[in-house]
């Protein structure tokens, strides 16, 4: 199956998932609290989700859809009546700030899933912190997000301090690159990832050149001209899969054939899909995760193959809903209760192929990145 089949995640996909039901083993266990039907017969509250859903690409709705499916499944398993408050983030930081202010002003909202990118987390963090709302991102990976500035921020994926060495090892040890070029763009995610890869490779004794580029550029002839001719690996630490694809195609058109390695933002087969290129992901292939057997069945039936952004959104909502249930008093969840409960919340054998639990600085315990090679019609895990 191709990535296009995988990404058909609109209303039909959500309806199919909700109708079949998603069994995930344990839906979540919160340390020091009961979450079964015997503990609380019903609980209400709203959970905000800041994620794209109004864009034009098929992948734009994947996180919002899977967060919705996760909450529907949680309500079904626990007899709760939590509702989703969807906020689109497809138009950038100004839009997500408005979304954050709206969620903060809505007293029924007890927690937030998202935002999806590091730059958006930095934009909304102070607003959500001030409102006492915890926010769990399914995909923001910049290392600095957990430096203590953002009190309510958590993530269910590993950060770029884990991703950068994975890319560095792939280039230096598995591909045996003797000279590497790193291209990044002026975004916290891209520059942070590029810094990490640069540091790893230099420590490994691999010569590195580096350029910061615009992802809106159409012709990269000037960029390519600055990449030394003997470069045998190019790391694309970019926020745009389309830009990464243009660079690959334009280099190949000039007879340049280094190995290309994209960061996790390029894990979109419809956009970044040249056979033989490499890309990283913060989730494993769910087809290999025993704990996600029912979810995998639905992925195959509705989406096709693996989706790196679906599983973490499902898991992030599980975490938030579990903490909300633990906070329930008089049949209502509360912001203060979720704030207290979430750091100790654990999702056993999650759809991500591991437990979801947090370190003291709100990182995913034991999180890792995975490297894939793009084949003719699927991703191939690099051992």
Architecture of domain 3-158+286-367: 3-Layer(aba) Sandwich (3.40)
What pLDDT does residue 41 have?
56
pLDDT above 90 for 283: no
- Please say whether the beta carbons of 276 and 246 come within 8 A: no
pLDDT tens for residues 6-42? Answer: 332 333 333 334 433 443 333 344 433 444 444 445 8
Would you call the peptide bond into 358 cis, given omega within 30 degrees of 0 as the criterion? no
Helix (H, G, I), strand (E, B) or coil at 337: helix
Task: Compute the mean pLDDT over every residue in the chain, rounded to the nearest whole number.
Answer: 85
- Please say whether the beta carbons of 209 and 234 come within 8 A: no
* Residues above pLDDT 70, as percent of the chain: 81
pLDDT tens for residues 162-180? Answer: 999 999 999 999 999 999 9
pLDDT tens for residues 179-230? Answer: 999 999 999 999 999 999 999 999 999 999 999 999 999 999 999 999 999 9
Range of weakest confidence among 25-29, 244-248, 350-354: 25-29
What pLDDT does residue 307 have?
53
CATH fold label, 161-281: Rossmann fold (3.40.50)
Dihedral sign from CA coordinates of 228, 229, 234, 240? positive
What pLDDT does residue 306 have?
47
pTM to 2 decimal places: 0.82
Band of pLDDT at residue 62, cut at 50, 70 and 90: confident
Radius of gyration of the chain (CA): 21
pLDDT tens for residues 120-145? Answer: 999 999 999 999 999 999 999 999 99
- Category of 361 on φ-ψ map: left (φ > 0), alpha (ψ -120 to 50) or beta: alpha
- Please say whether the beta carbons of 282 and 316 come within 8 A: no
- Please say whether the beta carbons of 352 and 283 come within 8 A: yes
Alpha helices in 79-187 (DSSP H): 93-105, 118-130, 160-169
Residue with tokens 């045998």, as numbered in its chain: 232
* Residues above pLDDT 90, as percent of the chain: 70
Domains 3-158+286-367 and 161-281 share a fold: yes
Q: Which helix (H) or strand (E) holds 321?
A: helix 310-326
- Please say whether the beta carbons of 185 and 213 come within 8 A: yes
Domains of the chain, by residue range, sit at 3-158+286-367, 161-281
What pLDDT does residue 66 have?
86
What pLDDT does residue 270 have?
79
Separation CA 195–CA 182 (nearest Å): 9
For the ranges 222-226, 268-272, 297-301, the one whose mean pLDDT is highest: 222-226
């Amino acid at each position: 199956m191709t990535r296009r089949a995988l990404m058909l995640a609109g209303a039909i996909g959500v309806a199919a998932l909700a109708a079949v039901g998603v069994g995930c083993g344990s839906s979540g266990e919160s340390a020091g609290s009961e979450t079964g039907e015997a503990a609380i017969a019903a609980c209400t509250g709203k959970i905000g989700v800041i994620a794209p859903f109004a864009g034009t690409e098929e992948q734009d709705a994947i996180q919002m859809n899977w967060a919705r499916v996760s909450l529907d499944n949680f309500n079904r398993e626990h007899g709760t009546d939590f509702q989703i408050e969807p906020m689109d983030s497809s138009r950038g930081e100004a839009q997500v700030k408005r979304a954050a202010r709206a969620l903060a002003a809505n007293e029924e909202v007890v927690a937030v899933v998202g935002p999806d990118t590091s730059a958006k987390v930095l934009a909304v963090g102070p607003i959500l912190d001030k409102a006492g709302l915890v926010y769990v991102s399914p995909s923001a990976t910049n290392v600095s997000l957990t430096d203590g500035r953002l009190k309510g921020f958590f993530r269910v994926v590993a950060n770029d301090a884990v991703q950068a060495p994975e890319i560095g090892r792939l280039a230096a040890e598995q591909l045996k690159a003797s000279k590497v070029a790193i291209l990044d763009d002026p975004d916290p995610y891209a520059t942070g990832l590029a810094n990490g890869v640069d540091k790893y490779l230099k420590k490994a004794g691999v010569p590195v050149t580096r350029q910061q580029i615009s992802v809106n550029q159409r012709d990269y002839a000037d960029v390519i001209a600055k990449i030394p001719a003997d470069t045998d690996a190019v790391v694309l630490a970019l926020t745009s899969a389309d830009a990464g694809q243009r660079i690959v195609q334009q280099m190949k058109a000039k007879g340049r054939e280094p190995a290309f390695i994209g960061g996790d933002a390029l894990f979109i087969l419809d956009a970044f899909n040249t056979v033989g290129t490499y890309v990283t992901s913060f989730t494993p292939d769910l087809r290999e995760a025993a704990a996600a057997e029912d979810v995998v069945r639905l992925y195959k039936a509705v989406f096709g193959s693996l989706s790196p952004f679906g599983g973490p959104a499902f898991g992030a909502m599980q975490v938030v809903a579990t903490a909300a249930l633990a906070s329930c008093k008089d049949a209502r969840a509360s912001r203060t209760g979720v704030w207290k409960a979430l750091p100790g919340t654990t999702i056993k054998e999650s759809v991500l192929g591991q437990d979801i639990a947090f370190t003291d600085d709100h990182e995913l315990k034991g999180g890792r990145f995975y490297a894939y090679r793009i084949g003719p019609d699927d991703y191939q895990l690099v051992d």
